[in-house]
Amino acid sequence: MARPLVVIGAGEFAQIACEYFEHDSDYDVVAFSVEREYLAQPILMDRPVVAYEALEAHYPPSDVDLYVAIPASQLNRLRKRLYLDAKHRGYRFATYVSSRAFVWRNAAVGENTFIFEGNVIQPFASVGDNCILWSGNHVGHRTVVRNHVFIASHAVISGYCDIGEHSFIGVNATFNDHVKVAQDNVIGAGALVTHDTEPGCIYVGSPAKALPNKSSLDVRL
């Protein structure tokens, strides 16, 4: 029997997540939920939209699982805030792994993580909690993707890498073996990362270099 699921969010990613869960998982999406100040419509995709603050009254933790469908806003911190708050309130979380992704048998994938089609996750790799891997990425053997990370499409992360918390990895970024990406990094589209990075920086180019006098926390994602 399908497990009822409430999607937190009502934007484009929330609607995409609903489509994938509904047609490629064992979940049945029964509702959306947003914080009351953002509740602009009562119905979305033929499902009710309820205030997040009153979620327990409509869908208690014993009855449903959640998926927090917020993209990389505020360098993944908005998704993190809602995920941790709902966890504190006793909810369990869905993880979606596309039936068209390749995840090796001993790779680990955390909760509230969304892995789109075409991803390859090799042996002994791990992807943490509350991550999003858009289409077509390669996560090499023994690589660790920490919690609250967003990886856009077609990134190539080689073996033994470490991707720090809250980081955003742009389209077509490439990482050499053994590279350690610090927390709060923004790695630009097409960047070639050959060395370890420093926290809170934005890296662009090939080879990638930090943008001077710019903080990743100031980037609007």
Determine the pLDDT at residue 219: 87
pLDDT at 203: 98
pLDDT value at residue 48:
98
Secondary structure of 111-134 in the HEC alphabet?
A: CCCEECCCCEECCCCEECCCCEEC
Predicted pLDDT at 144: 99
Q: Which residue ranges does the chain devote to CATH 3.40.50.20?
A: 3-93
Predicted local distance difference test score (pLDDT) of residue 133: 99
Secondary structure element (H or E) that encloses residue 86, with its range: helix 77-88
For the beta sheet containing 162-163, the strands, ordered from the edge strand earlier in sequence to the opposite edge, are 108-109, 126-127, 144-145, 162-163, 180-181
The CATH fold assigned to 3-93 is: Rossmann fold (3.40.50)
Yes or no: domain 96-205 corresponds to CATH 2.160.10.10: yes
Looking at residue 220, its pLDDT comes to 83
For the range 176-180, what are the long-range contacts, defined as Cβ-Cβ under 8 Å and sequence gap of 24 or more? 177/140
* Residue 139 confidence (pLDDT): 99
pLDDT at 118: 98
Task: Give Rg (Cα) of the chain.
Answer: 17
Segments in the chain below pLDDT 50: none
Using CA atoms, how far apart are residues 70 and 76, in angstroms rounded to an integer? Answer: 8
Give the residue range(s) of CATH 2.160.10.10 domains in the chain. 96-205
User: Would the pTM of this model clear 0.95, i.e. be above it?
Assistant: yes
